[in-house]
Structure 1
């Protein structure tokens, strides 16, 4: 799983970074920093600033610190263990951050509004928040593959069963507005490729890995047996070998000012 996430970081991070206006002296906060790769890329641009990454998972936090040490960048970001619902900030740090980033986290939270309230509390007036998250209805693969259509529908239903929103990307501005932010801007982050591109295999493998990782939950819904699930996966693997195989997806980007 960590290997998959590391590859995802490589595919997405620069595209996200290109959209961010940075002066260089900002105090930044990355909520749900995961393996910390994006946090470190940002920190390199904050020559006179500082970057803090908050991650709930001890495993990912340990891996983030290990990767930073491997790259001789262990002083770039201060990684802290903590929840987006209760940020691990010191008393004198609340209300001081210039930039806050939350990427691919809100879709996994039953109460994303609490995370945004915490982010708002951490920010100083005029600070900017940037969100990137999924609207899984945006996901398309071609040529048409019925196995994907069925499995992806069931995958989205797993979110519903967990009390999460598989389409939260389309609601980012509304969530920001409800939390008291202003001056909204939106965009998309391309996450896709065609078989002729070198990175296509990573996109295709990620799709298959996501579905395999939720196999038990998908089967529990009751519409597919384990045998049919594995048949579907084989059909997806066959799709990924086609010369015209294409994966179309755009993650939703929303930013706002406090």
Structure 2
């Protein structure tokens, strides 16, 4: 990648590693009809969704005008578009699905490598910088990878790539409230986490009246709505911290229902 490109090499490497980690779980012999913890989604649906969004990201970067013209104007339209990503690939063999997936990811990666740092990329919401979109794609790969791993009853070894998911989770603090028509608290909590390597990771004002502490994995699971906050070991102090984790959402689309407490235990 051009050193002046819009996405740091380290981030693209981590995105590629997240893709490879999930792809290694899904072989030509995988039962794609196996349900995941995401209600109504099987493994095929998760992969098909990732393919569709990879292709959408490539289009948004390469031909932003065409992306804007095709982008749904309502949540209902967006839901229909996302559903089409799944239905159009419903009858593909595992091998054909894997090939489409590899091709879509390669096209997306090439598009990211062509971006400029000051570029604004349209998306399903406000436009964003290429690095932010790449982080969002990594977050989706990690979250859907979690679904697939749980469907296959495979324990994934967490890595420090979680820091990207945690960053996006913190950055969408205000979005989580406004997305539900709620007033945004005047200040976010202080978030202090431990990455899988043991390294500390922190965001937010040091003198905040509210705080969240614990493992980065738990925080990532909550902000991607893969765990209820009560099914983690996160420690919250202050009403703002509790309110946020009850509605935290770091992905685009309609407000997600989250997971009920006790549905999945670690």
Please report the TM-score for the alignment, with normalisation by the length of structure 2: 0.31
Q: Which structure dedicates a bigger proportion of its chain to strand?
A: 1
Please report the TM-score for the alignment, with normalisation by the length of structure 1: 0.32
Q: Which has the larger radius of gyration?
A: 1
